Structure 1
């Protein structure tokens, strides 16, 4: 249930601040009335204003108390220093006054404390270590030492520069990410979760292991929109996990399927948890290229999860729902088809070359128009008039969109809202109000993490520590690229523990990706490699945020769910390695595109993850013998390793395994429930 649907459980000051935050972001995105530096500062100010009102000293959500209100007012007030003295700060850039130092230190302390209250101590401790390195790193021995920096230089870098808390992460958070989170909130309020669940239930609910397959589809689809895998677990998981348990899946498997599917939304284009936009900004590559590189691995990831679910259902003898108990998927689409239009429009604009900011704004406006328009259309009598209404609204919307004019679009949405209020009353206005509140609330953990992670980026930029780390990895890679990849993977898993998707990628890409690039790994592949293993940290014990989020719903140990999730998400651990050795898997070619190489890489990866699946579950047509599992495991490993003749040996091993197992199955048919 959304925050604003609790019947006034949140203080009015919080609701007002959240509403103003959403309106501020929409206005600055549509009209750009303020400079980028001011927008970033006010964005962080709004985050502090909300966090300290919502969370107490122990990090419990409810009320921050009188001290929280004082800190909230201080954090919001300090943001205006960058607006009021914008010109003076630019003129004396690098020369800190006493007042600047006080404002900078206070802002940093507030950001650290806000992040601790929202996300716990993991990210603040990591950032504090980097801050300590920037301050005292000159006293370290050997190559770890840097030349030393004045405290005023460090504060200036972190609290006033464009590589600290107001750096690229905050820029993307204040521009793209907030709009896409708001976009997802409007779609949720419009009924997108219900549409996805009905469609998934209707298409696969009656098949073998149907309830778990429903979780894979609905959670994966919703995860691509809402931008947070953990948040997706606690929303769609309320429906999917009990459904899986009801039909015979073990609690740890049910929780693991939900966690794995929800995190998969972070690697599925077009949104990718908003990381796609940060990656495009970071490496200066068109957004479309990021989506192309991510598509095939994402398909392999979800195929593996779906395959694991299917095999587990066969092993445990689990059937699906009754066909009569499943909704009609085509009826669901017929009744709510208009909900897909904003998503389709967003994808079209992104791939047509429009900026993410413009595309997100247009998608949001289109969603508002459709919510208002659909409710208004229900009041129009007669099918013909209703069709004319939608046609006219669509033509007007398309006409303005083609011209690239955001303001008239917003005016159309406002006009539709006014007309609707006259005819429909309060319900639709309440839907929009709820979505605006929810969007601001959902943005809090992401936004505050983006601000705090700027401490890491600023410290790395100032001291050059990433170059030192890259040197060690490159030195190791001169002897073995595989060992360098393993070291990079472990680094990303450790750095990604307990950290949301976006700061996770920012940290790992700043530290680990340059080393892979120096070893000859293509630019996009190197960043995708660290991004994938940063994501896998949310499924990897001992932290495993997504697994522990599913634990109370599944009523099972988060550790057991995390171990099971690692098995189900095996593609997320294998495909990045395969892409390094076969970049065609991510559509990266040396010279002209070699579609045959891409097709072979995809087919090989598909076979490898399929073999990993049967090895993990221990079942295909029937229960596997130990020797069969060993043979399948060896064949899968050979398909992943990229040295001469391993592909041929892997294919031969896979064929031998398949022939042996099918022969056994035909000679002695599998028993139900084996």
Structure 2
């Protein structure tokens, strides 16, 4: 058997002995996490040390220090040395575990040298996998910890020695080994492995076939199928870029063939795929971190995100629909499409592992253990058909591919831990939240805008998980001081970190879609923002009315809120596209847009105003169309 390395996921194509070494290390890391998730995780220091050490080792073996046109099939000796040092860091934490606990504040020279190497290796690994922005942000925080005494005004502090900063950042559980890496080591990596196993069963094709069967014959059918399939894929993958590249390679050409502009086709896939990070049950990695920060079950996070996710995808779906009507696009012939009943009969069983996640979580299983059991169920489901059966080779491929996806997450979470460590050491988080409240003059609306802008700006340069971690420790507390529910404050930060993936000028999901469609990335980004308008509006509403995230919601109230919010998304979509029964004039679009926003905001008065606006516009459209038909 040849080493089963998924080369397209790696930056360096290895061959021969090195391919086998990376394969073995990847399998060891995968099996370690599956075993500890299925049984009992090791003590945090051990679990996180092994996770980080092996993750960094693989990063240095697979990611070159700089990209070359022709990369060697083996790592450079310098990279091998860094990989060995990374393994040594993990061993140091394990071997000297008790001594490190006993001599807190009185560290040896070897402790400090090891800590210094650890910080450097983490930042270099992060630079290789996600680029400079994240490293620059972390470096700025470290500089602030060391020389904060030179910072004037409220943000200044007495400054900390290099020894104190290194101890806090690496030797304890407050910095690199803190909560972000802990979530990566116990939850995120297991769900990435689960998603890869599920992928091998053929579930992506099932999602596409089911979406086409449901929407294919309606106006703009392939575009609607892209929205539906991406929403379904979001239940197993929290990566907007992976979703865009995966389903987009199929749906974008189909949309273009139907008559959609390349920019619009790419924007549909990018905006729908980005919504995958907010789609339960398996949301983006930041959602798992959120559960730890708030100290609530992950299932509560998934439940709270359900209605906002429904509103998001409803908005994208409706805008695709009205764009198709405006452009005169039709669906595909019924005979060329799958039949839904047959799709469900032949492939419907593939969805059982996803359903099992909810059942197991509700039964009291930990999220990690629920993922392992569902992984086993996915393997059993794959046995039904030959193309979904996973032998040893297929399982190994899934494990290695999952580890390859986890490497950027490991490095990012470790570097985010540096930032969190500095925040806790210096107290800058409390200062920032107090100053933000003062700058906003205790006005919640202004504070929300400040937080949104910070999330979008940070999200343009660093991954969603890191964006969330930074702002959850610095901005979310300010919102909570202004009376925002903790869950609403954290979801607000999370949502805007997510939509940064489609917000120009740096919009990675848009770039992925534009590359497939051959479209202009900037124009595609503008289209994606229009399509995802719900993601920019809904967070404000669930902050002001937490019933949208199930806080204080009764069954009757929930039905009322969901019904009016969906009608609001209907009106808002029409306003953005500018077409209903016929083309809408500018003033009508503005009025209808305000009516849609009023409906999304829960409340009897706002619902009455919004519904009245929609009714008036509907009557005006009917009368106008009747007059035009008489004249013709």
Contact 1:59/1:120, CA 8 A, preserved across alignment:
no
Q: 1:269 is paired with a residue of what secondary structure?
A: coil
CA, structure 1 residues 260+435, in 2 after alignment: closer, same or farther (shift >3 Å)?
A: same
CA distance 1:515–1:116, shift in 2 (3 Å): same
SS at match of 1:227: coil
Tell me how many residue pairs correspond in the alignment.
619
1:172 aligns with 2:135: no
> CA offset at residue 277 of structure 1?
2.5
Q: Distance in 2 between matches of 1:546 and 1:207?
A: 26
Aligned to 2:54: 46
1:430 aligns with 2:386: no
Note the 1:428-467 alignment, pairs <5 A.
428-467=391-430
CA shift for structure 1 position 26: 1.5
Matched, 1:277 2:288: yes
Q: Distance in 2 between matches of 1:602 and 1:480?
A: 28
Mapped partners of 2:61, 2:451: distance in 1: 39
1:548 CA drift (Å): 1.5
Report the CA distance between 1:473 and its aligned residue: 2.5
Distance 2:454 2:149 in 1: 24
Report how far residue 500 of structure 1 moved: 2.5
The Cα of 1:478 is off from its aligned counterpart by 4.6
Match of 2:82 in 1: 71
* 1:659 equivalent in alignment to 2:622: no
Task: State how far apart, in whole Å, the 2-side matches of 1:641 and 1:28 are.
Answer: 44
Deviation, 1:618, is 1.1
Q: Does 1:480 align with 2:480?
A: no
Cross-structure match for 1:153:
164
Aligned ranges for residues 214-293 of structure 1 at < 5 Å? 214-293=225-304
Q: CA deviation at 1:323?
A: 0.8
1:546 matched to 2:509: yes
Distance 1:510 1:63, change over 3 A: farther
Q: Deviations over 1:435-455 (max 9, x none)?
A: 011111111111211111101
Partner of 1:188: 199
Q: Quote the Cα distance in structure 1 between the aligned partners of 2:145 and 2:163.
A: 12
Residues 149 and 9 of structure 1: CA distance in aligned 2, closer, same or farther (over 3 Å): closer
Q: After superposition, where does 1:484-495 map in structure 2 within 5 Å?
A: 484-495=447-458
Mean CA deviation greater in 260-269 or 660-669:
660-669
Which residue in 2 is equivalent to 1:299?
310
Cα distance, 1:495–1:168 mapped onto 2, change above 3 Å: same
Number of the residue aligned with 1:55? 63
1:417 — aligned with what? none
Following the alignment from structure 2 to structure 1, what is the Cα–Cα distance between the partners of residues 357 and 597?
39
Q: What 5-or-longer segments of structure 1 have no aligned partner?
A: 379-423
Give the Cα–Cα distance (whole angstroms) in 2 for the partners of residues 96 and 188 of structure 1: 47
Give TM-score scaled by structure 2 length: 0.93
Judge conservation of contact 2:216–2:224 (CA < 8 Å) in 1: yes
Identify the match of residue 124 of structure 1 among 128, 135, 146: 135
The alignment status of 1:21 with 2:32, answered yes or no, reads: no
Aligned-partner SS, 1:621: coil
Aligned partner of 1:409 in structure 2 is none
- Verify the 8 A CA contact 2:59 2:129 in the aligned structure 1: yes
The question of 1:503 aligning with 2:469 is answered no
Shift of 1:476: 4.2
Query: Matched residue of 1:304: which SS?
Result: helix
Pair 1:596–1:30, CA change in 2 (3 A): closer
Q: Residues 256-314 of structure 1, C-alpha deviation per residue, up to 9 Å, x if partnerless?
A: 11111111111111111243332121111233322221111110001001001101111
Tell me how far apart the structure 2 counterparts of residues 669 and 503 of structure 1 sit (CA, whole Å): 56
Equivalent residue for 2:358?
347
Q: Which residue of 2 aligns with 1:391?
A: none
Counterparts in 2 of 1:639 and 1:183: CA distance versus 1, 3 Å: same
Give SS of 1:285's match.
coil
Structure 1 342/648 Cα, relative in aligned 2: closer, same or farther at 3 Å?
closer
Structure 1 residues 102 and 669, CA, compared in 2 at 3 Å: closer, same or farther?
A: farther
Name the SS for the 1:225 alignment partner. Answer: coil
User: What's the offset of the Cα at 1:583?
Assistant: 1.4
- The offset of 1:595, in angstroms, is 4.2
Deviation at 1:51, TM superposition (A): 1.1
Taking structure 1 as reference, are residues 34 and 576 closer, same or farther at Cα in structure 2, changes over 3 Å only? closer
Change (3 A) 1:596 1:18: same
- Which residue among 563, 569, 573 is the counterpart of 1:613? 573
Which of 491-500 and 444-453 deviates more?
Answer: 491-500
Q: Which runs of 5+ in 2 are unaligned?
A: none
CA distance in 2, matches of 1:555, 1:366: 39
CA distance in 1, matches of 2:5, 2:324: 36
Q: Is the 8 A contact 2:279 2:306 kept in 1?
A: yes
Cα-to-partner distance string for 1:331-368 (whole Å, 9 max, x where unaligned): 23222333222111111111222211221121122223
- CA displacement at 1:377 relative to structure 2: 12
Contact 1:495 1:508 in 2 (8 A): no
Using the alignment, how far apart are the partners of 1:64 and 1:183 within structure 2?
29
Q: 2:282 & 2:41 partners in 1: Cα distance? A: 26
Higher deviation after alignment, 570-579 or 328-337: 328-337
Whole-Å separation in 1 of the counterparts to 2:626 and 2:60: 65
Label 1:94 to 1:236 Cα distance change in 2 as closer, same or farther (>3 A). Answer: farther
Q: Aligned equivalents of 2:310 and 2:124: distance in 1? A: 39
- Work out whether residues 576 and 593 of structure 2, in 8 Å CA contact, stay in contact via their aligned partners in 1: no
Cα drift, residue 9 of structure 1: 4.8
- 2: CA distance between counterparts of 1:667 and 1:51? 67
CA contact (8 A) 1:570 1:609 kept: no
Q: Give, in angstroms, the shift of residue 237 of structure 1.
A: 1.4
Task: Determine which of 92, 95, 110 is the counterpart of 1:99.
Answer: 110
Q: Distance in 1 between matches of 2:557 and 2:36?
A: 45
> CA 1:360 to 1:74, structure 2 compared with 1: closer, same or farther past 3 Å?
same
Matched, 1:374 2:384: yes
Tell whether 2:487 aligns with 1:524.
yes
Question: TM-score, normalization: structure 1?
Answer: 0.87
Q: 461-470 vs 622-631, which deviates more? A: 622-631
Q: CA deviation at 1:46?
A: 1.4
- Name the counterpart of 1:407: none
Q: 1:234 to 1:120 in 2, by over 3 A?
A: same
Say whether the 8 Å CA contact 1:56–1:63 is kept in structure 2: no
